[in-house]
Amino acid sequence: MSLIQPRTLKGFRDYLPAVMIPREQLMQTAREVFRSFGFAPIDTPTLEHLEILTGKGSDETDRQIYRFTDNGGRNVGMRFDLTVPLARFAAQHISTLGTPFKRYHIAPVWRGEKPQDGRYREFVQCDFDTIGTESVLADIEAVAVINNLLETIGFDRFTISVNNRAILTGLLEHLGLADKSVAVLRSLDKLAKIGREKTAEEMINAAGVTAEQADAVLRLADCTGDATSVFATLTEITSGNEKANAGIERLRDIYEGALASGVPERRLRLDVSIARGLDYYTGVIFETTLDDLPSIGSVCSGGRYDNLAGLYTKQHLPGIGASLGLDRLIAAMEQLNLLPTASTPAPIFIAYFDKDHRDDYLRLATNLRSAGLKVEVYPEPRKLGAQLKYADAHGFTVAIIAGGQEWTDGECQLKVLATKKSSQVTYRHDAPEELVEGLRQILQQPQ
C-alpha cells in the first residue's frame, strides 16, 4: 500500500509542544484576567448560516470566508472573526441574558487570504466586550483590562494609546467636512506610514479639502504629549464645537478613571490620530504597543461602537470591547526572548532504570503529584544516559535518580539538568517531605 504524504494545508500549521505550551499559558492568563473583571466566557459554532456572516462584512472579508453547501443543502461559512458571531449571539440571547452583558471569547477564526508575513488562514482571536451600556465606566474598565492583561503576561514597558473618535468627528463638523469624513479618515489612517506632507496632499487631492482644513485636521492628529497640554490644545483647535467638547470631556474622564484604576501614567498616551478603520468605532479607541518592539504594531486594540447587532435585531446595543492579538504577542515574546523553550509542561523527571522497582517509581510520582508537583516518569527501563539525554532535550529542570540500594536505604539523587549538579536527599514513600522541599527549592531558583 502506498503511503499518503503527511502534510498540512497551505496557510495552516501544527503547534508543537514548545510553541503550544506558552500559547496555552497565554490564553489561560487572558481568561484569568477577564474573569477577574467579571467577564464571562461564551462560545459559538464554527459554522454559521452564510447570510449571518456576509450580512455585514466588507467585500474583502466576504471573499475570504470559507464557504460551502452542507449535506442538508444549507449555505454555510466558517466564522472569520468573533464580532459577527457576537452580534448574532447577542441578538438571539440578550433577552435571556439581560444587560449589561460582559463576555470574553477565545476561539479560532478562518480567512482564506494569501498567507504572508506570518499571517495564517487559521488563527485565534481573544476578545472581550461589555454590551448594553454607554457608561464611561465600561470604557475605563477596558483600559484597566488591557493594562492588567499585559502586566500579568509579563510586560512592564508598553503604551496604551487612547483616542475618542468623537473629537475628530466634531472637528470635521466644525470645519464643514462632515460629509467628507470617510475620505479624510482614509487619508489620516496613513499618517504613520507616509508622513504628514503626503497625508495633507492626499487629503487635498483625494478628499477635496482645502490646505487650511487639512492643516487643522493634522494639527489635531499631531496633538500628543502630557495630558494637560493635550486637552488644552484640543479645546483650542476644535473652537467650542459641542460634539468635540463632549468628546474631549469623555476622553479626560477615561484618562482620569484609568489612573484611578491603577494604570500607571507612563503607560497612557493620548493620541488623537488613531482611528482604526473607517466606520465601526464611534467613541473611544485603543491601541497598545510594546515599547521594546513598537514595530510589531498594536497587540491589543478596540473601542466603543454605537450599535452591535443592527443587522439582526431592532434592539439598540451599544458596547465597548477590545481584542488581544495572541499570535502577534507570541511573535513579540519570541523576539524579546521572553518565551520558555521547554517542550514539557512538567519540570520534574523521574528516571526509571531499575526494572525491579517499577512500582516504587510509580508511587514516588504519585506522591509528588499529591504535593502539587508536575512530574514525568520515563516509560521504559532504559539506560540512565539515554534517559537523561531525553530529559535534557525536553527541557526538564531536575531529574530524580534512584535505583537498587538507594530504594532500600531511602535515598535518592536530585540532578539539576542545567548545571549537572547533584545532591542527595532522603526519601521514603511514607515520608516524602524532604524530597518535596528539595524539589521546590530547585524549582524556585531562576532557570
Of 36 and 424, the one with the shorter C-beta distance to a copy of itself is 36
The one among 128, 305, 312, 353 contacting a copy of itself by CB under 8 A: 312
Report how far residue 429's alpha carbon sits from residue 441's, in angstroms, rounded to the nearest whole number.
Answer: 20
Of 84 and 216, the one with the shorter C-beta distance to a copy of itself is 84
Q: Which of residues 385-424 bind a copy of itself (CB under 8 A)?
A: 390, 393
Report how far residue 195's alpha carbon sits from residue 256's, in angstroms, rounded to the nearest whole number.
Answer: 31
**Strand-pair category, 75-78 with 47-49:** antiparallel
- The response to whether 445 counts as a known ligand-binding position is no
For residue 308, give the nearest of 86, 102, 107, 148 by alpha carbon: 86
Segment near a copy of itself (CB under 8 A); pick from 140-148, 216-224, 273-281, 326-334: 140-148
Report how far residue 61's alpha carbon sits from residue 63's, in angstroms, rounded to the nearest whole number.
Answer: 5
Of 36 and 210, the one with the shorter C-beta distance to a copy of itself is 36
Q: Do 351 and 387 contact (CB within 8 A), yes or no?
A: yes
- The response to whether 280 counts as a known ligand-binding position is yes
Single-letter code of the amino acid located at 44: T
Residue 376 within binding range of a copy of itself, rule CB under 8 A: yes
Report how far residue 417's alpha carbon sits from residue 424's, in angstroms, rounded to the nearest whole number.
Answer: 15
- The response to whether 361 counts as a known ligand-binding position is no
- The response to whether 82 counts as a known ligand-binding position is yes
The one among 43, 156, 265, 334 contacting a copy of itself by CB under 8 A: 43
Of 148 and 187, the one with the shorter C-beta distance to a copy of itself is 148
Of 101 and 281, the one with the shorter C-beta distance to a copy of itself is 101
Single-letter code of the amino acid located at 428: R
Residue 192 within binding range of a copy of itself, rule CB under 8 A: no
Residue 362 within binding range of a copy of itself, rule CB under 8 A: yes
Residue 343 within binding range of a copy of itself, rule CB under 8 A: yes
- We find the least distance from the C-beta atom of residue 196 to a copy of itself, in angstroms, to be 37
Residue 331 within binding range of a copy of itself, rule CB under 8 A: no
- The response to whether 179 counts as a known ligand-binding position is no
What are phi and psi for residue 362, nearest 5 degrees?
-65, -45
Residue position matching grid coordinates 532557570: 447
Segment near a copy of itself (CB under 8 A); pick from 2-10, 174-182, 266-274, 329-337: 2-10
Residue 267 within binding range of a copy of itself, rule CB under 8 A: no
Of 294 and 385, the one with the shorter C-beta distance to a copy of itself is 385
Residue 146 within binding range of a copy of itself, rule CB under 8 A: no
**Strand-pair category, 411-416 with 122-131:** unpaired
Q: Is 118 exposed, middle or buried (0-12, 13-18, 19+ CB in 10 A)?
A: exposed
Residue position matching grid coordinates 527501563: 381
- The response to whether 139 counts as a known ligand-binding position is no
Residue 427 within binding range of a copy of itself, rule CB under 8 A: no
**Strands lying side by side in the sheet with 158-164:** 40-41, 101-110, 122-131, 319-324, 300-305, 284-290, 158-164, 268-270
Residue 278 within binding range of a copy of itself, rule CB under 8 A: no
For residue 366, give the nearest of 375, 358, 353 by alpha carbon: 375
Which three cell numbers, joined as nine digits, stand for 44? 459559538
- The response to whether 250 counts as a known ligand-binding position is no
Annotate each residue in 220-259 with x if it binds a copy of itself (CB under 8 A) or - if it does not, as one string: ------------------------------------xx--
Residue 73 within binding range of a copy of itself, rule CB under 8 A: no
For residue 348, give the nearest of 339, 361, 337, 329 by alpha carbon: 361
Please report, in range form, the residues annotated as the binding site for L-histidine.
81-83, 111, 125, 129, 276, 280-281
Q: Write out the binding residues.
A: 81-83, 111, 125, 129, 276, 280-281
